[in-house]
Amino acid sequence: MNSKRFNAKTLSALALCLLTASAMAAPAKKTLKKAAPIAAAAAAASVAYASRDDAMQLAADIASRRDLPADWVRAQLSEARNLPVVTRLMTPAGKTFVKNWTVYRSRFIDPVRIRAGVQFWQANRQALARAEQQFGVPAEIIVGIIGVETIYGRNMGNFRVMDALATLTLDFPQSHPRAQARTDYFRGELEQVLVTANRTGSDPFALRGSYAGAMGLGQFMPSSWDKYAVDFDGDGRIDLFNSATDAIGSVANYFIGHGWKPGLPTAFTVDMRAQGENLATLLAPDINPTFTATQMAERNVRVLGAESYERPLALIELKNGNSGPTEYIAGTENFYAITRYNWSAFYALSVIELGREVHEAYLSNQTAKN
């Protein structure tokens, strides 16, 4: 985003995060039992970028492109610290790594998250219902996202966002297959924080988040905060750290901005008979919806319950390593929209299934009370 086009929404959204960072850091300290020690250890092993020529060149480039004071940008990047743990966490798994949907699912669909999700739903049922009505995004999906991302605010990250983003801009692992694209992406996020901080006179180092620089209950990146965060509780400010209502509305708004189509399902089960060339053809587009149910049937995949469904679908492969046979589902455009949060079919299905499990537990709990 061009700094000269920075709008009022940005100043009320990400700027709030910067201006009230001390208040936002408090819940992070209270809820992050695992992340805080990791972040503290990372800080202890870190080295400031002040002595790096490439960091100072980056500062000059950002200042020029974003029309920011060169000395100020240089001072910020000089204070930022390289966090080797962040680079390690972004390094792709080795060739021996085997994808396993069953194992991945067990990380997110568990009693702790389900209980926390029921409590979250009970406490925020009105906001969830309003978001579903206003945006057309089911409460299940919103609850699934916030549960997978932060266990409903329990783990929002305790890394200094400036350190994380500087590290991912200057020291992104080159072994990553999309290293340059990801480096460019994180540079944009770093620039977003700097532009906001400069225009509001706030401290960019007060922000806390994940090792990737994501913040708040829904783990919004700085650019997503700017584009999609909303004041859903109507208090005149946007706070994705302390306002569950703002987080709920913002997650729903994010999905609308990424192609969510109200009323469409997320996925269908399939009767899988495809092999060889037919299977390869169906899997080639990956998670991008490409084939109709009729076209899938022509290649020996029957999409169950989709007799009248004419919109594009993607054949989603769920490998289970040595744990069991590979599973398959047909993902819709709304399944694809969930992957805009995290480009992973495993992630999207975890969101869907956690939301469903929490909803069922919530309804059971309500029935027991009546």
In tens, the pLDDT along 215-272 reads: 999 999 999 999 999 999 999 999 999 999 999 999 999 999 999 999 999 999 999 9
The contacts of residue 172 (CB under 8 Å, 6+ apart) are 87, 90, 179, 182, 183, 186
* pLDDT at residue number 44: 55
The contacts of residue 100 (CB under 8 Å, 6+ apart) are 319, 320, 321, 323
CATH 1.10.8.350 domain position(s) in the chain? 3-92+153-217
CATH 1.10.530.10 domain position(s) in the chain? 101-150+343-369
pTM for the full predicted model: 0.88
Q: From CA 337, how far away is CA 7, in angstroms rounded? A: 26
Residue 157 near residue 220, CB atoms below 8 Å: no
* pLDDT at residue number 10: 45
* pLDDT at residue number 43: 57
Residue by residue, pLDDT tens for the chain (370 residues) are 333 333 444 444 566 555 544 333 333 333 444 556 666 655 555 789 999 999 999 999 999 999 999 999 999 999 999 999 999 999 988 777 789 999 999 999 999 999 999 999 999 999 999 999 999 999 999 999 999 999 999 999 999 999 999 999 999 999 998 999 999 999 999 999 999 999 889 899 999 999 999 999 999 999 999 999 999 999 999 999 999 999 999 999 999 999 999 999 999 999 999 999 999 999 999 999 999 999 999 999 999 999 899 999 999 999 999 889 999 999 999 999 999 999 999 999 999 999 999 999 999 988 887 6
* pLDDT at residue number 32: 43
**What is the CATH architecture of 101-150+343-369?**
Orthogonal Bundle (1.10)
* pLDDT at residue number 110: 96
* pLDDT at residue number 95: 72
**What is the CATH architecture of 3-92+153-217?**
Orthogonal Bundle (1.10)
CB atoms within 10 A of CB 234: 9
Q: From CA 345, how far away is CA 77, in angstroms rounded? A: 36
Residues involved in catalysis: 149
* pLDDT at residue number 12: 47
Taking alpha carbons only, the member of 121, 101, 152 closest to residue 356 is 121
Residue keyed to tokens 């999409």: 303
* pLDDT at residue number 353: 98
Q: From CA 73, how far away is CA 195, in angstroms rounded? A: 9
* pLDDT at residue number 24: 38
